[in-house]
Amino acid sequence: MSKLIQPRTLKGFRDHPPASMILRERLIDTAREVYRSFGFAPIDTPALEYTEVLLGKGGDETDKQMYRFSDHGGRDVALRFDLTIPFARFAAQHVPALGTPFKRYHVGSVWRGENTQRGRYREFVQCDFDTIGTESPLADVETLLVIHELFQRLEVGPFTIRVNDRKILTGLLQRLDLVDQSVPLLRALDKLDKIGPDKVAAEMQAEAGVSAAAADEVLALARLEGSNQAILEALPALVEGSELGAQGVERLRAVLEGAVAGGAQPSRLKLDVAIARGLDYYTGIVFETTLDDLPAIGSCCSGGRYDDLASLYTKERLPGVGASLGVDRLLAALEELGRLEQRSTPAEVLLVRFGEEHDGELLGLAARLRSAGLAVEVYPEARKLGAQLKFADRRGHRLAVVVGDAEWASGTAQLKDLASKESLEVDQAELAAACRARLGSV
C-alpha cells in the first residue's frame, strides 16, 4: 500500500468551507451591486503576468513580496499582488477602444509572499473599483460615496473613512524644504497613531536624517485636532507658500463637502492628515476605512488618487482614483467581532423524504418551489423524520416540508419553521407562497 499524502495547504493559503464561503459570496455580491449601481463595469485580467509589467510601480516592498518564477517557456512571470497595477496595464491596452472616463470594478485573488497574521494572508480577495481618465473632484467624491454605501449595506457596524490628500503633505514638505526625504518622512508619519508622536519624530531623524526641529515641524500636522472644518482652517498656514499644498487643502475641502452633499454621514468621514499610505503611486486624495470596534486589524478598504498610474505602459496620461475592499480582512474582523451569522447551506427549504413511492411527486414539488424563487434541497434518503429534521436544523435550513402518505392523499403539506418550531398545514398549491411569507417575516 502506498503512503498517504498528507492533506495540507500552504502557509497563508486557506480553504473555505460552505459556512465561510456563503458569507464571502454575500459580501462580494453586495460589493458588486453597489459598484454597478454607480456605473462601474466588470472586468477581469489574468492572475499571472509578465514580471516586468508588475514590477516597479508599487515600490521595493511589493517587489520583494511577489510570487515570481519562470514558466514552461522560460518567461519571467509573477502572480499579481494587487488589482490596480494589472488595471493600469489593461487600461494602457484597451482604453483607446473603451473611451474615457472609464469606470471598472474587479473582483479577484491577489498574492503576497509576506508573513501571515490575523487578517493577513498570502492569498486574499480584493474587490477593486476605479475611475480613470478624469481628474474631476466628482470622481473622488463618488469613490467616497461608494465606500460609504458599501459599508452601510454590509451592516458592519460603525466605521470610519479616514481621508487625507498627499498634496497637503507634499506642500508642507515643500515649505520645509524636505521634499527629497518625503518617502521616509511620510512612512514615519503614517505610523502616528500606532507608535505616537515621540517615536515618529525619532524615526524621522533616524530614517530621513532630518533635524529634531524639522521633525517637529512635520509633526505640527499631528497636533491639529478638532472637526474636519477646524483642521481645514488650520491647514493653509502649514503649507504656506506651496501652490501644491494650497490646492490639496482646497481639493480636500471640496471633496469632503461633496461627499456629505452626496449623502454620506459626516460622522463617518474623518480628515486625518497622518494618512499617507505606502504605495508610492498615490498623488492626491488617500483614504483608509476601519471598523470602529476593531481598528487594530487595519484598513478594510483603502485607496486614493494617482495621476500617472499607466505611465509605465503608455504615453497617454491616465489619471484615476479608486479603492480596494479587502474581503478576507473584513471577514476576519467581523468574525472576531462575532457579527456573522453562520449558515452552512444556501437552501432555505428542505423537503423530507419518506420512501421511493412518491419520488416523482416530491421532485415535482421541489421544482415548483424553485420556480417560485426558493432554494430547495430534497433529502436523498428515507431516514427517520426526527433525523431529517435534526439534519435540517444543524445544516441551517430554515423551513422543512413534510409530505407523507396522508398529505399526498389530501394534496397538502406540513410546513415547519425550524427556528420557532411552529408547524402549519397548507395546500401544496399554496406551499410556495406560504414559504415566502414565512421567510419574509423573519
What is the contact surface with RNA in residues (CB under 7 A)? 6, 8, 10-12, 59, 61-62, 65, 82, 112, 114-121, 124, 126, 187, 190-191, 194-195, 203, 277-279, 288, 296, 298-302, 324, 326, 328-330, 354, 383-387, 389-394, 402, 404-407, 414, 416-421, 423
Looking at the DSSP assignment, which residues form a beta bridge with residue 162?
Answer: 270, 288
Q: How far is the CB of 110 from RNA (least distance, A)?
A: 8
Residue placing its CB nearer to RNA in the complex, 90 or 232? 90
Q: How far is the CB of 372 from RNA (least distance, A)?
A: 22
Euclidean distance between CA atoms 87 and 103, whole angstroms: 11
Euclidean distance between CA atoms 414 and 352, whole angstroms: 10
Residue placing its CB nearer to RNA in the complex, 82 or 142? 82
Residue placing its CB nearer to RNA in the complex, 141 or 279? 279
Residue placing its CB nearer to RNA in the complex, 72 or 384? 384
Euclidean distance between CA atoms 347 and 374, whole angstroms: 8
Q: How far is the CB of 64 from RNA (least distance, A)?
A: 8
Number of other residues whose CB lies within 10 A of the CB of residue 198: 9
In angstroms, what is the C-alpha Rg of the chain? 27
Q: Which residues contact 156 (CB under 8 A, 6 or more apart)?
A: 291, 330, 333, 334, 339
Euclidean distance between CA atoms 193 and 44, whole angstroms: 37
Contact 291, 302 (CB under 8 A): no
Q: How far is the CB of 194 from RNA (least distance, A)?
A: 5
For residue 138, give the 3-state DSSP assignment. helix
Residue placing its CB nearer to RNA in the complex, 257 or 391? 391
Residue placing its CB nearer to RNA in the complex, 36 or 394? 394
Q: How far is the CB of 277 from RNA (least distance, A)?
A: 6
Q: How far is the CB of 188 from RNA (least distance, A)?
A: 8
Nearest 5°: the CA angle 324, 327, 332 is: 130
Residue placing its CB nearer to RNA in the complex, 9 or 371? 9
HSE value, Cβ hemisphere, 13 Å, CA-based, for 362: 21
Euclidean distance between CA atoms 291 and 174, whole angstroms: 34
Q: How far is the CB of 421 from RNA (least distance, A)?
A: 3
